[in-house]
Structure 1
Amino acid sequence: MTVTLDDLAPTDRSVAARTAAHSDRSGWSPGTPPDAVVRPGSIAEVQAVLRWATAERVTVVPRGAGTGLTGGASATAGQVVLDLSGLDAIESIDPVTRTAVVQPGVIVADLDRAAAAHGLRYAPDPGSVAIASIGGTIATNAGGLRCARHGGTREAVLGLDVVLADGELLRTGTAGPRSVTGYDLTSLFVGSEGTLGIVVRATVRLQPLPVSTATVAALFPDVATAAAAALTIPAADTLELLDGATLAAVDPVLATDGAAFLLIQLEGPSALAEAAALADRIRPTAVRVDITDDPARSERLIATRRGALPAVQRLGRVLIEDVSVPRTALAETLAGIAAISDSTGVPVFTFAHAGAGVIHPLVLTDDGAVTPRVQETVDAIVALALRLGGTLSGEHGIGVLKRRWLADELDPVARTTLHRIKDALDPAGVLNPGKAI
């Protein structure tokens, strides 16, 4: 008897389901919708689907919450979407080892809340923390506001259960604090965008909630001065920068007092004293500096930063870029982005995880269209970051939309090596083809 996809896991072929699953938050469309959406309810069902896909040579596109920004979860005719949102259990939280075991469909903010009940937290907090899934953030190695001190998702993942293309279940890493046994397979899969295997379980590191947090908010006369001030702050837990255009979109009143905004958070028992010392350091070049250890007021200041993307998106469709440069090149990069915007006439709104050198230029399209001048602007920004020793993606991944620049960053030997790894793990090429590499 012939085994069909419907025999292996719940499968939806409705127009509504296929249309909803053919793109991600980038808005990029690959054309016609996929053939079906499969919603496995167990790891065994994921294994069965991949065995079938490899045998039948049907390509599979893994999907979490669909919040990706580079088309990594986009799917088209002839493909099957593997929707992992139903695998959403927080299987365990261990307050002694400070670890959690979670399935890929768990929303990041939900894990953070569950950890808080044990006096712990999950450090990665991308801007989409309230809607992004753990699996998706592992796929792209997402970062977030706390990446200045705590790093991105890779630093938080201790081990993975991964279903390979042939349906085998691979377990990587350990729940212990450290292991040097064999190659670091865990790190290989983090950021691989579903092209090497399907993450079905993750063991992640948790951290104690800080006993105290102090927040510093500073306005500067221009973005170059703000970037220079950021360089004098090496140890902040959060270090975020908004340029004048972004600040005006978020808070026009605040923007009348300064042309750049720096948000700093310090954690620990001496956070307020450290914040006061830090404020004294940056005050000579700032227009205004505010300090607080009041949680409610801190949340309002954090909201200014978190509101950046939605505030700019209200002005029209934007291309959300995420280049990254060495911190020493931050000021030069921001100045260069402003010059590119002036040259092409395309508005660019920029904010940055300044502590990690990750910069998000939001390039405003022409009434929703990526016209030649819009594309020229994006191309120039990527070229600028690469010229200054950076990378074309700091946390969003490559997906489809950034593959055009891969050869500008990776030499032929590096690209060949990536394809050899892909061929070794997915010889039939069924896992998310045309993405990441």
Structure 2
Amino acid sequence: MTATAPRIDQVFDLDALLTEDEREWQQRARTIAQERIAPIIEDDFENKHFRRELVKVMGDAGFLGMHLKGYGCAGAGAVAYGLVCLELEAADSGWRTFVSVQGSLAMSAIHKYGSEEQKQRWLPGMAAGDLIGCFALTEPQGGSDPAAMTTVARRDGDEWVIDGAKRWIGLASLADVAVVWARVDDPSGAYGEGGSAVRGFLVPTSTPGFTATPIDGKLSMRASVQCDLDFDGVRVPAEAMLPGASGLSGPFGCLNEARYGIVWGAMGAARSCLEAALERSVTREVFGKPIGANQLTQAKLADMFVEVEKGVLLALHLGRLKERGALTPAQISVGKLNSVREALEIAHQARSILAGDGITNAFPVMRHAANLESVRTYEGTDEIHQLVLGRALTGIAAF
């Protein structure tokens, strides 16, 4: 005789800590994740297919740049945005990544640092899902060291000319506009603090010399798009520069927005893995009883559940801090490091409960585990966040 596993949220009442508006955002995201993404995600992952028609669905739902105010954006709270990230990543990390690249990176850069003309030109279409943006910071040899940036922009009359390369740029081959970070030779200090300043530029992807090549051979994030970018004499007008960003504090301000979303999102992937393992534990029988009747299996489930709930409570705490304007980069590093590290361990434990079937696409666990390896790497590796926290604790930078 088999049983049905209870819902995880029946054991731990998170809803009691949320507002009605936050619960509505979460339910909207859960519905889209379960009805529009979950039925097709295994095929999309297998076929390396990004389902572009869902971009408009995300826009219509208000998810794109939802934490921003004005220009067609929803102006939702930080916790509401986090809950949307959680539900989307419970379906697949690629779709939380899309919302993050579009809203937390590209749109945030324009919203934070753009001119009014730039905001009016791009943000309403991006919020609606009619336009796609990307965020071009990481370079082939740079990785976690953006200060070593080699992409350069030089002034030529009324234009900027950009040359260089970027790597692992999400959505770039689909994007209408790229937020490109480049080093500007600026001995006069006209565009920064003098010498060589990092500045952001809005580059329409149709500009001659801009080439985006999707990266193939990925064993992770296969239903998502990441690209190599080449800039060969890309010319943009002087007003393409983001006026409000100078130095690496510009892109870092956007990265912190994206990292915050990951704190929540990784817990969505973890919850999905736990749910799969829990359901299997009460429906699969071995030696005449459900495997969930074994003490070792129950111990694994209990430990997984504790880490999911601790991670969600940490995310909620960070969200409340963010809403008060009190969230620090070091606190975000705590969340990103913990959520992704624990989500991966939960995926591994869930796979063990699923036994051999756990490596098949009959269950989402191996796909989540593969995706989480990418999430663990981007927006700061474990090691980078450990160093951020080490600096906060000791006052000594060990980078």
TM-score range, shorter chain: under 0.3
TM-score, normalisation: structure 1: 0.24
- Greater helix proportion: 2
- Greater strand proportion: 1
